[in-house]
Chains A and B, each alone.
Chain A
Amino acid sequence: MGTVKPPRLGERLLSWFCKDRWTDELLGDLEEQYKDNFHQMGKKRATLKYYFQILFLIKPHILKEKKSSPLMLRSHIKSSYRSLLKNKAYTFINVTGLAVGITCCFLISLYVIDEMSYDKFFNSSDRIYRVALERVYPTNTRYFGSSPVNLAPTLLENYPEVESAGRLHKLFFQNEITVSVGEKEFIEHNYLFADNNFFDVFSFEFIEGNSETALDGINKVVLTESTAKRFFGDGPALDKVYYLDTTSYVVSGVIEDIPSNSHMKFDILGSIHLLPFIEQAASTNSWINPWLFTYIKLKEGVNADVFEEKFPEMVQTYGMASILSQLSISADEYPNSGNEFNYFLQPIEDIHLKSNLDVELKANSNITYVYLLIATVGFILIITCINFINLATARSAERAKEVGVRKVLGSRKALLVRQFLTESNLVSISALALALGVSWLLLPSFNGLVEKNLNLEILTTPLVIVGIIVFILTIGTLAGLYPALVISSINSAVVLKGKYTSGSKGVWLRNALIIFQFFISITMISGMLLLNKQMMFMKNKQLGFNKENVIILDQAQELRTDQRAFRNELLKIDGVKNVTYAFAMPGEFIGNLITTSEIPNRPQVRTFTVSVDDAYIETLEMEILSGRGFNPDYNDSTNVIINETAAFLLGYEDPIGRKVINPNPRENQPGEFTIVGVVRDYHHQSLHTEIPPMVLFNVSDEAVMSKVAIKVETEDMLVLLKNIEDKWNEFENERSITYSFLSENLLELYKADSKTGSVFYLFTIITIIMACVGLFGLATYVTQQRTKEIGVRKVLGASVSNIVILLSMNFTKLILISFGLAIPLVYFGMSKWLESFAYHTQIDVGTLIGAGLLTLILAWITISYYSIKIAILNPVKSLRSE
């Protein structure tokens, strides 16, 4: 019985946290209880109970009081301050390094928080969904954010789960409208159309007018506050009138400006009833054309996933008649026709980051980029902390004497640890102060880079302040803890005898940390190089037409019937090679049309269509593979040119003379077209998507088209542009000329990529600089310790280059190891990323080796500064040191 003993660990645990006056009696009580329990319920449960009892004992009145007094803290701070001041270079590296890390962290956090906040400002935004459409065609599948006209009314009338349903429309074909207010004219880019229910779904704040009647008539418009101010000045705008061409519109409401963190953006909101094709589709109960964006708000407690399951039945019940008549097939044929209309719900809060459908209101962001940035900022912070730890451990030899003396004078280990932690926290707090200042200074330029309007306001909320303080103290403590423990456990007797060298202690960890650091750097550099390569690839890819030296003029419809005369005048200008009119130039939005082949039983092909004049193919230097281009000598009004993909999908081996059939021609439209030429596949759209089947229609010279492309060849572009402008002004004196360059317009398609790219470049460069700064500090200290050794080597005849190589060798080995580790990660990670582009570059060995070499060279430069300094030192000096 006497052999029963409670676990020793419990005793130690208790005496560690418990006040001395209680320890003894409590341990006694615990032991007694343990013994009783032992006999009643066996060893296992008794032990478990014993630990639980100890755990419960962690109470305020039992816990030890903190021993450090404010006096001690003051002493810690004072000596930290002195020590930091004494080693200015070290302090500088640490504070600036950490400040850079924290600044990056702040800026990226602001960016990420903003990205995550999209569309959350609407009332009950978690119940608002967009109904999107997965349209499966026999040959392909397309995803529409938009949906047919009658979807919203159907949902609202027949489904009790739906609280409200609104519709929004965007005119994809027209980029700008000109609004006349009195004498003034405004060119507007952000105008959308909505029905009145739109305001039931979205809680826009009305400053003037009310949501009930704002859009219930065709000539009513709602303006945002700033737009109203622009148009009508500071006074009330309600019931004021503006003109679009000759039609008047009455302002029936003014709403607050839409925050920038929304997936929709408009200054002017017109009524969808204004648009004849929508009215017509609605009256014929069309379920075919996804022309509108449908937003619904579900009632509280409705599960979206469950509700979604009702959609197939809805299509069957309400839409099938329209679908069948449009596809001209019978209900029996439909299931095997390869056509599907699958609707699904997208939470509006997710649209900005997760929706990347073929048809969107505007280009959305991508959650991958958000993750990438979070990872990057994590890396930067890790590297900063590693620098902190590495430098501190490397300096342990220097601090050893101080620690020895402190120990001899009676300092306990805990006190020493506290001393070092005070020091590291002092560094992190000063870094925080510096980072706040720098963030504030850099924010405007960062805003410019990411094209956002971020501000530091969020830093004033109490939760964030507490978070930042905790974060800073954690970094300070984490980074200081390891060095503190290492240095404080130095044997004072050894140190004071002068025998202590930092030796192998902590070298293992230090090396591992360097490997990790450069592993990150190499990964990021390769990522950056590949990103760059892909951007170059997209910029330089042969597009199937020549985008260089092409000037695009917008608003050509203003010329009206003078288009032909204007072209003839342009051709007279020196340097103008060719002129073409069209409804869309490469890179711009184009429509699509369901077509069928002459060959029976072939699936329908959804082709993209663009109407062009005779000179289009020639001006853009596309290649005709067979047949001919449009030609003024022929009447090409029922002839078309198709691309290779269309020829393939229609099933024509020799397409010239064959037909492209439009199964549902509108009134006064021909139902079939004869193919007169095949053009080599060219990239009308961005390289994110594959080349679709395309049909080029010819328009007669009388038709008024919206775009002019001018192929030029000149030494002096400015003079040429001036000449073109003069000609324009001769024909059109109301509207001034708006021109752009095709090659630049095409770059717009990759704006999101290049924007994220530049943010990524920036932070990659910061990461590398941070890694090098750390290496520099470390190399300096390590080399310093070898001063004597180098002196001896020199005396024995080593050359400067010998010594520099010797000193670099260690770090080189570490970098090579990290290179080996980084390669597989980069390879797999980047292949995945590249696959998101339909047309992409390949990962080549050259890029990877390039990244490794770049890192190595940067590291060598960093190390060599101090190595050379030491290597050329006169050995007499170095040997006499100490």
Chain B
Amino acid sequence: MGHTFITELEELVLLSTAILYPNAYAYGIATEIKDQTGKSLSLASVHTVLYRLENSGLLNSELGGKSEKRGGRSKRLFSLTQNGKKAVEEMQDVRQAMWAKIQSV
């Protein structure tokens, strides 16, 4: 327990990646987060988080999915690694355990 702590933003990005799988890429994730939470994030901040998560081994990426809309450029498609899955699950467990202990809010 408790070996990788992730921030809220990182959790949101990881969850969106899971939702959009197998078509999760930076802009898509940003739109998804906006739809789900109403928060508007810049591409740069999403990119920064993705880059950090990939570096710490929670995400994998590959290139693919060229489209006309993107001017024929490829996307970097992200997917959760085992560690990534574990990190969000752990986060969920911690939350639930904590909620269970609360009598009333």
Cross-chain contact B71 with A25 (CB below 8 angstroms): no
Within 8 Å CB of B75, what residues of A? Answer: 25, 28-29
Within 8 Å CB of A443, what residues of B? Answer: none
- Extra A-B contacts (12), CB below 8 Å, given A29-B70, A32-B70, A62-B44: A2-B68, A25-B76, A27-B73, A29-B27, A30-B43, A31-B69, A33-B30, A36-B31, A53-B43, A56-B42, A56-B43, A59-B44
Complex CA–CA separation, A656 to B12 (angstroms): 104
Cross-chain contact A28 with B47 (CB below 8 angstroms): no
B-contacting residues, A1-17, CB 8 Å: 2, 5
Cross-chain contact B43 with A33 (CB below 8 angstroms): yes
The chain B residue with its CB closest to the CB of A5 is B71
Q: Does B21 contact A (CB under 8 A)?
A: no
State the main secondary structure of chain A at its contact with B: helix
Q: Does A61 contact B (CB under 8 A)?
A: yes
Q: Does B26 contact A (CB under 8 A)?
A: yes
A-contacting residues, B7-64, CB 8 Å: 25-27, 30-31, 42-45, 47-48, 51, 63
Q: Does A57 contact B (CB under 8 A)?
A: yes
Cross-chain contact B44 with A57 (CB below 8 angstroms): yes
Cross-chain contact A25 with B73 (CB below 8 angstroms): yes
Q: Does A26 contact B (CB under 8 A)?
A: yes
The chain B residue with its CB closest to the CB of A35 is B69
Partner pick for B73 among A31, A36, A52, A59, CB 8 A cutoff: A31
Cross-chain contact A26 with B47 (CB below 8 angstroms): yes
Q: Does A24 contact B (CB under 8 A)?
A: yes
Cross-chain contact A53 with B73 (CB below 8 angstroms): no
Complex CA–CA separation, A62 to B45 (angstroms): 11
Cross-chain contact A31 with B70 (CB below 8 angstroms): yes
Cross-chain contact A59 with B43 (CB below 8 angstroms): no
Within 8 Å CB of B31, what residues of A? Answer: 36
Within 8 Å CB of B47, what residues of A? Answer: 22, 26, 57, 62
Cross-chain contact B73 with A24 (CB below 8 angstroms): yes
Complex CA–CA separation, A26 to B48 (angstroms): 12
Complex CA–CA separation, A743 to B12 (angstroms): 89
Q: Does B92 contact A (CB under 8 A)?
A: no
Q: With A32-B27, A53-B43 in contact, is A27–B74 under 8 Å at CB?
A: no
Within 8 Å CB of A53, what residues of B? Answer: 42-44
Complex CA–CA separation, A53 to B63 (angstroms): 22
For this complex, 18 residue pairs linking A to B, each with C-beta atoms less than 8 Å apart, are A25-B26, A25-B63, A25-B74, A25-B75, A28-B71, A29-B43, A30-B27, A30-B43, A32-B27, A33-B30, A33-B43, A36-B31, A52-B42, A53-B43, A56-B42, A56-B44, A57-B44, A59-B48
Compute the total of residue contacts between A and B using a CB distance below 8 Å.
61
Complex CA–CA separation, A57 to B30 (angstroms): 14
Within 8 Å CB of A33, what residues of B? Answer: 27, 30, 43
Complex CA–CA separation, A25 to B51 (angstroms): 13
Complex CA–CA separation, A25 to B47 (angstroms): 11
Within 8 Å CB of B63, what residues of A? Answer: 25
Complex CA–CA separation, A33 to B29 (angstroms): 12
Residues of B within 8 A of A (CB): 25-27, 30-31, 42-45, 47-48, 51, 63, 68-71, 73-76
B-contacting residues, A24-65, CB 8 Å: 24-33, 35-36, 52-53, 56-57, 59, 61-62
Cross-chain contact B74 with A29 (CB below 8 angstroms): no
The chain B residue with its CB closest to the CB of A57 is B44
Most chain A CB atoms below 10 A, which of B27, B30, B31, B51: B27
Complex CA–CA separation, A29 to B42 (angstroms): 11
Partner pick for A61 among B30, B48, B68, B73, CB 8 A cutoff: B48
Within 8 Å CB of A22, what residues of B? Answer: 47
The chain B residue with its CB closest to the CB of A56 is B44
Complex CA–CA separation, A53 to B31 (angstroms): 14
Partner pick for A29 among B26, B48, B51, B68, CB 8 A cutoff: B26
Complex CA–CA separation, A30 to B74 (angstroms): 12
Within 8 Å CB of A26, what residues of B? Answer: 26, 43, 47
B-contacting residues, A45-91, CB 8 Å: 52-53, 56-57, 59, 61-62
* Shortest distance from the beta carbon of A431 to any chain B beta carbon, whole Å: 42
Complex CA–CA separation, A18 to B71 (angstroms): 18
* Shortest distance from the beta carbon of B10 to any chain A beta carbon, whole Å: 15
Cross-chain contact B74 with A24 (CB below 8 angstroms): yes
Complex CA–CA separation, A7 to B86 (angstroms): 42
Most chain B CB atoms below 10 A, which of A2, A22, A32: A32
The chain B residue with its CB closest to the CB of A22 is B47
Q: With A59-B48, A61-B48 in contact, is A28–B74 under 8 Å at CB?
A: yes
Most chain A CB atoms below 10 A, which of B45, B47, B48: B47
Most chain A CB atoms below 10 A, which of B45, B51, B73: B73
Cross-chain contact A61 with B51 (CB below 8 angstroms): yes
The chain B residue with its CB closest to the CB of A1 is B69
The chain A residue with its CB closest to the CB of B51 is A61
Within 8 Å CB of A59, what residues of B? Answer: 44, 48
Within 8 Å CB of B44, what residues of A? Answer: 53, 56-57, 59, 62
Cross-chain contact B74 with A32 (CB below 8 angstroms): no
Most chain B CB atoms below 10 A, which of A5, A22, A28, A31: A28
Complex CA–CA separation, A537 to B43 (angstroms): 73
* Shortest distance from the beta carbon of A20 to any chain B beta carbon, whole Å: 13
Within 8 Å CB of B45, what residues of A? Answer: 56
Q: A-B pairs with the 10 shortest C-beta distances?
A: A28-B73, A56-B44, A28-B70, A29-B27, A56-B42, A57-B44, A25-B76, A29-B26, A31-B71, A53-B43
Within 8 Å CB of B42, what residues of A? Answer: 52-53, 56
Most chain A CB atoms below 10 A, which of B25, B31, B42, B71: B71
Complex CA–CA separation, A52 to B45 (angstroms): 12
Cross-chain contact B43 with A57 (CB below 8 angstroms): yes
The chain A residue with its CB closest to the CB of B65 is A28
* Shortest distance from the beta carbon of B90 to any chain A beta carbon, whole Å: 26
Within 8 Å CB of A30, what residues of B? Answer: 27, 43
The chain B residue with its CB closest to the CB of A55 is B44
Complex CA–CA separation, A578 to B71 (angstroms): 105
* Shortest distance from the beta carbon of A51 to any chain B beta carbon, whole Å: 12
Complex CA–CA separation, A22 to B26 (angstroms): 12
* Shortest distance from the beta carbon of B59 to any chain A beta carbon, whole Å: 14
Complex CA–CA separation, A606 to B94 (angstroms): 92
Within 8 Å CB of A57, what residues of B? Answer: 43-44, 47
Complex CA–CA separation, A32 to B76 (angstroms): 14
Within 8 Å CB of B70, what residues of A? Answer: 27-29, 31-32
Complex CA–CA separation, A513 to B42 (angstroms): 47
Complex CA–CA separation, A35 to B68 (angstroms): 11
Complex CA–CA separation, A26 to B75 (angstroms): 8
Within 8 Å CB of B74, what residues of A? Answer: 24-25, 28
Complex CA–CA separation, A98 to B15 (angstroms): 61
Complex CA–CA separation, A24 to B70 (angstroms): 10
The chain A residue with its CB closest to the CB of B72 is A28
The chain B residue with its CB closest to the CB of A23 is B73
Within 8 Å CB of B68, what residues of A? Answer: 2
Within 8 Å CB of B25, what residues of A? Answer: 25, 29
Most chain A CB atoms below 10 A, which of B42, B45, B51: B42
The chain A residue with its CB closest to the CB of B48 is A59
* Shortest distance from the beta carbon of A515 to any chain B beta carbon, whole Å: 48
Complex CA–CA separation, A36 to B26 (angstroms): 15
Within 8 Å CB of A2, what residues of B? Answer: 68
Within 8 Å CB of A36, what residues of B? Answer: 31
Within 8 Å CB of A35, what residues of B? Answer: 69
